[in-house]
Structure 1
């Protein structure tokens, strides 16, 4: 890359810069990210977003670095500090050198432009005395490298090095699975675990508990690992867990990940594009949906408390028949009751043997008035039950609806999905539009998820309630197969079978795969895990699915259904396929 010229400079995010570099007839995108969670430097083929109004730091870099030549790239102390030096022309026509320091240190990550005089021109994140008493980063101050973390450079363990592995390791008393990356620069917990796996040593042990031959083996394994990673020119590996979610990546094949699903890439840049694009998408969606999730969750908790109170109240009406019975017994035995009695035993002529029933009387009321009091209490509880029955139905539907909204938020994978959900909440009255606020630019309605079964049948999955209605009643044909997980919240799933013949064009295998998708996109899955050994999924022809007038978005009634029991293993496979697909599309 050295010797290339900077063509254009963009700042797509508050903590990220992208330089367009022309090299050998092609345009490369150099990403410099000071993100707290995704700090990195990489080449990318993905074209960056270009904000309409470039931030001040972006304008400063354009002024100082546009058209300049990248003359050197240097990593300091084998640590997470990279210095890029550029050669350009000053306003006076003189050749000047400026450096851009990328410090990739978690929440302290920063991108700092330093002039030829060694002073800070500006930074993407200024650090003033109110923020730190250790190191300031402000325009005009002399740039100083961050305080060295006192970790050792593992390259100095090589035959011509000066460091003693044994002395360094004995200074750390903790277990080996944290000792390696706490003692040496350039090692992550993931890489440290790989070194221990290759050496065949239990990471729970402390270094001081190792046998001499184990200590020698660990040192030689670390040296070999460093040499291998330094000389690696591909392929590079991306690892996924059982659900298909990305776990980590490596520049050499990891023995510790031999049993895990992996994907190889010819270039590290293409791997990093996939790895960080998915992580960035997830983080951005969390940020964009955070406030919405909070508001919906507040409404959901309120609805749940209301429902619990109503259910408690209706439980108190279940024994109301005893008051009617007492009224009947008082009326039947009124001839033998006298004013002033407080308690009597009356025969219950409704039961065989007429057992005696204790009846408490109000001394201030006549027998007839006591009977009416018992009837009044019975009737009040009866009216209460009738009222609460309708209220509980409404509250249950409200809870069910809000839970479906929470599920839709968790499935949202683009800004359009969030806007769809907000629109739905506006229409149902859960969100109010801010008064006097100009409307956002119209975003294209997001599309349902797509999949294809192993028998070649196309399928569609709704990601939110509005999309479920659109999918079921606008996109699906009457004879398409409609699927939904039984009795719990989930997406509507459509199999495009209206022009296909069961038995010749598709079989129960396709139905099971469609049912697995319905289960995978439902509350049957919690935090990426299937919560039961099998999940019941109903399917029927779309023509038998109806939407009641005035019902909430996503709510339907259906008939002529058949229920399939989908094994957890098949649902997990659907989850894996979904996570892989999201990685490719985002």
Structure 2
């Protein structure tokens, strides 16, 4: 189920007592459509994540450590001005709609008390977060400013009067009395049409509600279904197509398999959205560098195709030498001013061959022209091969950057951006004074194998170099997917068992371009056999004496070994 009206009602039964009467102490906007509000209550800090992301609009309490950007966006500066230090008086949902209002009390610069509302609208691509004055109803600012041409229903700009969006009519099932139920049943005797009259349900909820009404078309059955939303828990279920769904109750009428459950709905929500949110945040932060990587890969791919054509032409240049020799052999038959001549080719049983001539050149010069072109092409083979090698190495480098992005956490993107900047692919900003962060073991991904041994994983090329060439004991074992971009993986053990090797190889396969493959070949070797060639790009090493193992990376099993 999505964040529909009933889901929000359920979440607020848990969230309201946690936050109301708390003091808003910090606000930051880590990503384009996401806000984090730090509310202090009972000497504890509670972090409320609010996302107006079109694909996954949501809000819940989070324990995730989300980096605060160096430069605060305009909307956050406005929120800080008006809301920091304010008290959260109440949280109210608009009916059973996907709109939640957070009511704050604060004092302005003159010391007068002001009532402010932070309205969170979770409505797909129309999701927004709007701050307005409760007394005047005027919008102070909003996360997404909308051009009037894009939304004619209401004006979503600062200083405009705040108005609710157009709402769908429907019945709130949480408030239906038995008399109202009986009247509805009389008006809509078919359960399908009956269920259609209710608001606040998404497709899954509606289908489950229909199941209850089909089983027993009674007021008790209706109460049983809607009672779930006053006592929520967290359930993750999976569809037959292996897509995860989140519910605050356990559905019985849908074809779903229970994956996990948690009495703490906020924790369950965070676990459910963590991976998806991580991907969204990485996507938002990495958009600029992904465009650079994509453009460089396209340019290199085109260059390699062009160079390969030149190489094919150079390697098939023997025809020019043959034509030059034939012209020299039959020079007496070549007359000045001729544009072409047909001669017997003694290399192919005197089969006739047509040779083009430049009428402005003498017969001897025409022959020499073919020899010169032949020699030029032959001489170019070495240069072209070198250029193809360099282009392929650069393409492999950008593949490694893309793989690092694909497996990155949001905080890793800055390091990848710094690497591209140092390599000259991103222009350094004159006013940028971001301090280069020293790499430590804390920056790496750390895993604990089933027998307790530790595995370290680099998350970008600089970390890979540091881990392999500086951090690792020369007697430890190094793992890397064969002939593909991927992380450097170090098993901190001098004499690993077969099971250790298998588990470390699975981790290396997961943190590589082949993470979705069923059969992945992984090389492993002692660190002392790893060398970095002079002038090689970050992350590139060579090795000898390796062994290989074929594995299938299973995401849940691998991530269960990760130490946060």
TM-score bracket for the superposition, by shorter chain length: 0.7 to 0.9
Distance (whole Å) between structure 1 residues aligned to residue 416 and residue 57 of structure 2:
31
Cα deviation per residue 1:431-450 (whole Å; 9 max; x = unaligned)? 2212x313124445362222
RMSD: 4.3
Distance 1:329 1:92 in 2: 100
Residue number among 282, 285, 304 corresponding to 1:288 in the alignment: 285
C-alpha contact 1:485 1:535 (8 A) present in aligned 2 = yes
CA distance in 2, matches of 1:357, 1:442: 70
Task: In structure 2, list runs of 5 or more residues that go unmatched.
Answer: 1-15
Cα distance in 1 for residues equivalent to 2:209 and 2:461:
49
Matched with 2:82 is: 60
Q: Cα distance 1:326–1:463, how it changes in 2: closer, same or farther (>3 A)?
A: same
Judge conservation of contact 2:509–2:520 (CA < 8 Å) in 1.
yes
1:27 aligns with 2:41: no
Name which of 134, 153, 166 aligns with 2:153. 134
CA distance, structure 2, for counterparts of residue 92 and residue 430 of structure 1: 51
**Alignment correspondent of 2:493:** 497
Distance across 2 between alignment mates of 1:328 and 1:180: 93
Following superposition, the deviation at residue 554 of structure 1 comes to: 1.2
Residue correspondence of structure 1 range 85-234 to structure 2 within 5 A? 101-106=119-124, 107-115=126-134, 117=135, 119-120=137-138, 122=140, 124-125=142-143, 132-136=151-155, 144-155=163-174, 159-162=178-181, 164=184, 184-192=198-206, 194-195=208-209, 216-217=214-215, 223=222, 226-234=225-233
Cα distance, 1:155–1:380 mapped onto 2, change above 3 Å: same
User: Could you tell me which residue of structure 1 aligns to residue 418 of structure 2?
Assistant: 423
Task: Label 1:553 to 1:450 Cα distance change in 2 as closer, same or farther (>3 A).
Answer: same
The answer as to whether partners of 1:101 and 1:111 remain within 8 angstroms in 2 is: yes
Structure 2 SS opposite 1:5: coil
TM-score by length of structure 1 reads 0.76
Distance 1:551 1:143 in 2: 58
Contact 2:240/2:255 (<8 A) preserved: no
List aligned pairs for 1:555-566, cutoff 5 A. Answer: 555-566=540-551
Query: How far does the alpha carbon of each residue in 1:125-176 deviate from its partner, in whole angstroms, 9 at most, with x for none?
Result: 57785664433467887655433211332346663325636967989xxxx9
Q: Which residues in structure 2 correspond to 1:129-528 (within 5 Å)? A: 132-136=151-155, 144-155=163-174, 159-162=178-181, 164=184, 184-192=198-206, 194-195=208-209, 216-217=214-215, 223=222, 226-234=225-233, 236-239=234-237, 247-255=244-252, 260=257, 262-328=259-325, 333-334=329-330, 339=335, 342-348=341-347, 354=349, 356=351, 358=353, 360=355, 362=357, 369=365, 371-415=367-411, 417-434=412-429, 436-445=430-439, 447-498=443-494, 500=495, 502=496, 506-507=497-498, 509-525=499-515
CA shift digits 1:519-538 (9 cap, x unpaired): 2222223xxx32xx422222
Does the C-alpha gap of structure 1 residues 514 and 129 become closer, same or farther in structure 2, counting only changes over 3 Å?
A: closer
1:57-112 per-residue CA deviation (whole Å, 9 max, x = no partner) reads: 3332357x43x7x3x54433222233455688999999997765443333243344
Contact 1:9 1:17 in 2 (8 A): no
Supply the distance in 2 between the matched residues of 1:147 and 1:99 (Cα, whole angstroms): 19
After superposition, the Cα gap between the structure-2 partners of 1:309 and 1:390, relative to the gap in structure 1 and judged at 3 Å, is: same
Q: Within 2, Cα distance between the matches of 1:414 and 1:40? A: 19
Specify the alignment match of 2:24 in structure 1: 8
Separation in 1, partners of 2:424, 2:136: 58
Higher mean alpha-carbon deviation, 136-145 vs 392-401, is at: 136-145
- 1:474, distance to aligned residue in structure 2 (A): 0.9
* Contact residue 10 and residue 50 of structure 1 kept, 8 A: no
Cα deviation for residue 281 of structure 1 reads 3.5
Q: Secondary structure at the match of 2:95?
A: coil
Distance 1:51 1:370 in 2: 69
Structure 1 residues 272 and 375: alpha-carbon distance in aligned structure 2, compared to 1, 3 A threshold: same
User: Corresponding residue for 1:202?
Assistant: none
Equivalent pair of 1:57/1:122 in contact (CA under 8 Å): no
Please report how far the alpha carbon of residue 551 of structure 1 lies from its aligned counterpart in structure 2 after TM superposition: 1.0
SS in 1 for 2:390: helix
Deviation, structure 1 residue 357: 5.3
User: Is the 1:459–1:514 contact (alpha carbons within 8 Å) kept by the matching residues of 2?
Assistant: yes
**Equivalent in the alignment of 1:212:** none
The answer to whether the Cα contact below 8 Å between 2:34 and 2:50 also exists between their aligned partners in 1 is yes
- Could you tell me how far apart the structure 1 residues matched to 2:345 and 2:558 are? 69
C-alpha distance in 1 between matches for 2:240 and 2:465: 32
SS where residue 430 of structure 1 aligns?
Answer: coil
Deviations along 1:539-579, one digit per CA (max 9) or x if unpaired, are 2222111111111111111111222222xxx31x1x23455
Secondary structure, aligned partner of 2:469: helix
- Larger deviation: 103-112 or 85-94? 85-94
Partners of 1:224 and 1:325 in 2: CA distance: 94
Q: Please give the alpha-carbon distance, in whole angstroms, between the structure 2 residues aligned to 1:31 and 1:288.
A: 21
The alpha-carbon deviation at position 216 of structure 1 amounts to 3.6
Is the contact made by 2:476 and 2:493 (CA closer than 8 Å) also made in structure 1? yes
CA-CA distance at 1:268 after TM superposition = 1.6
Q: C-alpha displacement at 1:309, in angstroms? A: 1.1
Aligned residue in 1 for 2:3: none
> What is the DSSP-based 3-state SS (H/G/I as helix, E as strand, rest coil) of the residue aligned with 1:393?
helix
Cα 1:541/1:261, change in 2 over 3 Å:
farther
Q: CA deviation at 1:485?
A: 1.5
Post-superposition offset of 1:249? 2.0
Distance (whole Å) between structure 1 residues aligned to residue 481 and residue 138 of structure 2: 59
Partner-residue secondary structure (3-state), 1:311: helix
SS at match of 1:510: helix
2:556 equivalent to 1:576: yes
Q: Distance in 2 between matches of 1:361 and 1:273?
A: 74
Q: 1:492 to 1:343 in 2, by over 3 A?
A: same
